[in-house]
Structure 1
Amino acid sequence: MKSSTMLKAATAVLALAAPAAAQDVTLRIQTHYNPEQTSGKLATEFVEDVEAMSGGAIDIEMFYASSVVATVETFDAAANGILDCDMTGGAYQTGKNPAFQFVGDIMGGYDTPYQQLSWLYYGGGKEQAQDLYNQFGMELIGWWVYGQESLTSTTPVAGPDDLKEWKFRSPPGMETEIFANLGASPIVMDFTEVFTAMETGIIEGTDYSGLANNQSIGLFDLAQHATYPGFHSMPSDHLACNKMVWDGLSDQHKRIIETAMEKLALRSALFFEKANAEAAAELAEKGVTLHNWSAEDRATFRKAAQAAWDDWATRSPEAAALVESHKSYLTQLGLISQSE
């Protein structure tokens, strides 16, 4: 009887001492990529990693190709509980606060995905950005960056002089301002209109994605010129979750998701570095001219970009803080000088 009582007491003590098991959870996430795209396949790998590392305790229901709400509405859908997380990008939210430009696409800033990710994780970027996301009930979990984009054109784009009166499809926002200041004629249009617009001469070029992606969708059936390596735009896709949902996860589950996100960031950068190099070789063989801007020409673009940064920095305190943070880190990396 005595031993039975002692056994029960010991069992009770062990039960109290043991950490509570993390409860199973389902997360509804939307991405703008379709599952056949390389980035969509990488997103699927992220889902598989999370589910494997959690032993199935975290179930992710991934909605591809913006199948629940429009891409630009994903952030709000997560903040309002229609979804749990947003896997698109911060640049879609500049209408909420111009500061989102500087967590979405800095334009003319870092040269490589690794430098940009370094700012996020080791340059105080994540902490700075978190204040912005939290204002809207969201938590920034991490980035994945596929690398520099390339301009595609039916006419040469060998340097700033070729941008004079160059008509091209541009996404809305800061990019249009930068290129307009360099003498180009950016035209904001949906990408579905690009092929017809290039065929009919309404535009001479487009800004879509990296070289490999541009090749895969057939842009070089119409265009014989591109900038490579790219320099003007390197978007950051994010994983951002409803803050209440995120705060409700166990520390174990948070760490699993953060770790899987960092793997996704590395895999994405590595894959596209290889894919873009392969595309460059194939396109050169087919007669496409790849224009590698000189250091001086890249500096000209970066100077124009910084003028736009400074203008956007006046539009909100959060934008000013993020611009200052980027400038400080770019200076530390030797990409800009203290006087810039």
Structure 2
Amino acid sequence: MLKNFKGVTTIAASSVATLALTLASGTASAEDTKLRIQTHFSPETLSGELAAEFIEDVTAMSNGEIKIEMFYSSAVVKSAETFDAAATGILDCDMTGGAYQTGKNPAFQFTGDLMGGYSNPYQQMAWLLHADGYNQINELYNAHEMEFVGWWIPGQESLASTKPIRGVEDLKNWKFRSPPGMETLVFKNLGASPIVMDFNEIFTALESGIIDGADAANLTNNVGLGLYDIAEFTNYPGFHSMPADHLACRKDIWDEMPAHHKAIMKVGMQALALKNATLNEVKNAETAKVLAEKGVTLSTWSDEDLAVYRGAVQKAWVEFATTPESKKLLESHMAFLRDLGAME
């Protein structure tokens, strides 16, 4: 009797152990999410370092279930091609920015950069979090088989230049690297000569004299790109552009992810956004002091020049919003800015 009891117990324990191992193995496989993501930032820039921290956070929160392979410096395809590469399966996610896709629909401009509409990252994040921004952006992204996951906004950018950049007058015939989209329209109207080129071609073009300057990033990331080794002029504080870099993933990949993985990715992006905005604010102030000590000329634009620029931007908004989707997004931003008292 005792033998039978022991035998039953042994068999039961063995069966339970085998079942547990099988379930554990099946669950691990079912719950794993593997993502190949490309960013245009190099690992040496502040944004590149923060992207690496985002991966660490997501890995820790998911207990290793979410595995991310990051391709820095647009290593797989050009920056502007990242969105399509993700949508077609070459990659899984795009960590560049929506404004690169304005050739598909000008509405993408209003998912990335209003070029002076918002004064700081916190205002723009408020639209995303509290004015139905997620759903409005995803109406556009889903139509292109992508899912918008979140923004991270480093703050106002500064222009880098080999010539003085003191105000609107200095923009006359100024050849500079511009991202695609509405920016080319704004700066052409102000007399500049924008040249659209890939993010990672800027240094060589500046070094060879193909361009006089560049709209690349904020002060700190410009230093990481080496731009101030060549360009002796910049502006600070920035005003002209505050692009929101995004994370967007192929929709079928996103839809197949477990609910808790989706939540981790969204919360991870929101944590990245806060860390990014606050750290860049501190770093840019420190960088401004260092650059001034090294002899780089930092110009602060006058209220009169800023008014001219903002007038050109608001005119360009209307000219650029030529599709129903772009008009809807622009109207949403403008209504929110009015509610904030940031525009009339």
Change (3 A) 1:26 1:222: closer
Q: What is the aligned partner in structure 2 of residue 267 from structure 1?
A: 275
Q: 1:71-91: per-residue Cα shift (whole Å, max 9, x none)?
A: 222212222233222111111
Change (3 A) 1:196 1:249: closer
* Post-superposition offset of 1:221: 3.4
Aligned mates of 2:204, 2:34 — CA distance in 1 = 42
Q: What is the aligned partner in structure 1 of residue 194 from structure 2?
A: 186
Change (3 A) 1:50 1:190: closer
Do the aligned residues in 1 keep the contact of 2:40 with 2:200 (CA within 8 Å)? no
Change (3 A) 1:22 1:227: same
Q: 1:223-266: per-residue Cα shift (whole Å, max 9, x none)?
A: 33211100001111111111122122222111111111111111
2:105 is aligned with what amino acid? N
Do the aligned residues in 2 keep the contact of 1:98 with 1:312 (CA within 8 Å)? yes
Aligned mates of 1:263, 1:173 — CA distance in 2 = 28
Describe how 1:232-311 pairs up with structure 2 within 5 A: 232-311=240-319
Do the aligned residues in 1 keep the contact of 2:102 with 2:180 (CA within 8 Å)? no
Change (3 A) 1:129 1:196: closer
What TM-score results when the alignment is normalised by the length of structure 2?
0.85
Change (3 A) 1:118 1:194: same
Q: What is the aligned partner in structure 1 of residue 26 from structure 2?
A: none
SS of residue matched to 1:244? helix
Identity %: 61
Q: What is the aligned partner in structure 1 of residue 332 from structure 2?
A: 325
Q: What is the aligned partner in structure 2 of residue 231 from structure 1?
A: 239
Residue 214 (str. 1) matches residue 222 (str. 2): yes
SS of residue matched to 1:299? helix
Do the aligned residues in 2 keep the contact of 1:58 with 1:253 (CA within 8 Å)? yes
Q: 1:118-161: per-residue Cα shift (whole Å, max 9, x none)?
A: 11111222221110001011111100111111112233322222
Residue of structure 2 aligned with 1:107, choices 84, 104, 115: 115
Q: What is the aligned partner in structure 2 of residue 38 from structure 1?
A: 46
Change (3 A) 1:143 1:196: closer
Residue of structure 2 aligned with 1:51, choices 59, 63, 70: 59
Aligned mates of 1:23, 1:125 — CA distance in 2 = 29
2:244 is aligned with what amino acid? S
Do the aligned residues in 2 keep the contact of 1:225 with 1:290 (CA within 8 Å)? yes
Residue 124 (str. 1) matches residue 127 (str. 2): no
Change (3 A) 1:296 1:81: same
Residue 74 (str. 1) matches residue 52 (str. 2): no
Listed as ranges, the gaps of 5+ residues in structure 1 are 1-20
Aligned mates of 1:29, 1:187 — CA distance in 2 = 27
Aligned mates of 1:100, 1:247 — CA distance in 2 = 22
Q: What is the aligned partner in structure 2 of residue 8 from structure 1?
A: none
Do the aligned residues in 1 keep the contact of 2:115 with 2:183 (CA within 8 Å)? yes
SS of residue matched to 2:31? coil
Q: What is the aligned partner in structure 2 of residue 4 from structure 1?
A: none
Aligned mates of 1:331, 1:163 — CA distance in 2 = 30
SS of residue matched to 1:319? helix
Aligned mates of 2:210, 2:31 — CA distance in 1 = 56
Residue of structure 2 aligned with 1:335, choices 325, 330, 342: 342
1:74 is aligned with what amino acid? T
* Post-superposition offset of 1:191: 5.8
Do the aligned residues in 2 keep the contact of 1:146 with 1:234 (CA within 8 Å)? yes
Aligned mates of 1:47, 1:238 — CA distance in 2 = 15
Do the aligned residues in 1 keep the contact of 2:100 with 2:181 (CA within 8 Å)? no
Q: What is the aligned partner in structure 2 of residue 93 from structure 1?
A: 101
Change (3 A) 1:70 1:174: same
Aligned mates of 1:277, 1:63 — CA distance in 2 = 29
Aligned pairs, number = 320
Q: What is the aligned partner in structure 2 of residue 165 from structure 1?
A: 173
Aligned mates of 1:190, 1:82 — CA distance in 2 = 19
* Post-superposition offset of 1:198: 5.0
Do the aligned residues in 2 keep the contact of 1:22 with 1:253 (CA within 8 Å)? no
Change (3 A) 1:220 1:57: closer
Aligned mates of 1:247, 1:136 — CA distance in 2 = 14
What TM-score results when the alignment is normalised by the length of structure 1?
0.86
Aligned mates of 1:200, 1:259 — CA distance in 2 = 42
